[in-house]
Amino acid sequence: MSYEQTLWKELPDVINPKYLKKQNRYKKWEYGYNAEYDFVCISKNGTIGSIIEIQNLRIALPAANEPYKRGETKKEQYWERFEYPKELQRIKSRFDWEEYPVEFKEKWYDYIDEEFKRRDEGFHFYNNGNPVYITGTHYMYLQWSKIDVGAPEYRESNRLFFIFWEAARQIQDVTECVTSKTDGLVSPLWHQQNWLIWRQSQVTQDSVYYQSLELTQKRCSPIRLFQYLLIIRFSSSQYKMVWIDQKQSWLTEFQRLNLRDENSKRI
């Protein structure tokens, strides 16, 4: 009996194909909740490629232009960090950058702009023959972050987590939920998952992250706490907590810095 995943599903024909093509052509889709079609659009380039459903939340993903291919065969197609140019590794701050000559800066403007674009809009690449989309936050995590075991690995569960997170941030009165690891088993994923939960709590208005289950139960109320069965013990998570209270979720954005603009220096 083959395994059939139920974490997410693709929703075909939500939008009339002709209308979808027209809107994509003129980049008319707006980022955020779309009341007409009852989905959250996380595309920041005005296009929609596919619509998926995660935990009853419908999410519109951006259309893929030319997904990155690491290789031509399926075996060669997987996530791998892009090499960081050695010339830029010597730069430790914005002030170091300003000391370099204009010729040097001109050489790397396109590279820097592309990295900021990926961090903002997300990234498409082929994984085992299939084009997949990761959000800008997920790209930042994979490309530029470091965890206790070194560079993070690409995981489908993380991809769904970041997509769901990106969509949930755009919804008013969203119910917060978090998975807490409590049984103390040793796993390389323990620190990674707790880091992700901590990062989520930093950008969610009026949220606090507690490492221990006891502190969470004392300070966060009301909480519905239940134990669920682990089919495969791939991490140390044994309890799931769901906040019943509703809190307002605020849109979080950042202003992309233009290194070509002299007025943006030394802010």
> Tens digits of per-residue pLDDT, 99-116?
999 999 999 999 999 999
Res 147 pLDDT > 50: yes
Report the alpha-carbon angle 93-205-162, nearest 5. 70
List Cβ neighbours of 32 (8 Å cut-off, separation of 6 or more): 40, 41, 170, 251
Give the pLDDT band of residue 4 (cuts 50, 70, 90). Answer: confident
This prediction has a pTM of 0.69
The pLDDT score that the predictor gives to residue 243 is 43
DSSP letter assigned to residue 264:
G
Residue 141: in which H helix or E strand, if any?
Answer: helix 136-144
Region of poorest pLDDT, from 8-22, 42-56, 233-247: 233-247
> d(Cα 139, Cα 164) in Å, to the nearest integer?
15
The pLDDT > 70 percentage for the chain reads 64
The pLDDT score that the predictor gives to residue 83 is 95
Res 195 pLDDT > 50: yes
| C-beta atoms surrounding 94 within 10 Å | 13
Please tell me which residue, 232 or 152, carries the higher pLDDT value. 152
Mean pLDDT score across all residues of the chain: 77
Q: Are strands 130-134 and 123-127 parallel, antiparallel or unpaired?
A: antiparallel
> d(Cα 162, Cα 140) in Å, to the nearest integer?
11
**Mean of the pLDDT values across residues 68-74?**
96
CB 28 within 8 A of CB 46: yes
> Tens digits of per-residue pLDDT, 127-141?
999 999 999 999 999
Collect contacts of 169-172 with beta carbons under 8 A, ≥24 apart.
169/203, 169/204, 169/249, 169/250, 169/251, 169/252, 170/31, 170/32, 170/33, 170/40, 170/42, 170/249, 170/251, 171/33, 171/40, 171/249, 172/248, 172/249
The pLDDT score that the predictor gives to residue 230 is 37
Give the pLDDT band of residue 205 (cuts 50, 70, 90). Answer: very low
Selection from 59-63, 171-175, 249-253 with the highest mean pLDDT: 59-63
DSSP letter assigned to residue 38:
T
Record the tokens describing residue 204, joined without a space: 């969610």
Record the tokens describing residue 30, joined without a space: 């707006």
CB 249 within 8 A of CB 169: yes
Give the pLDDT band of residue 245 (cuts 50, 70, 90). Answer: very low
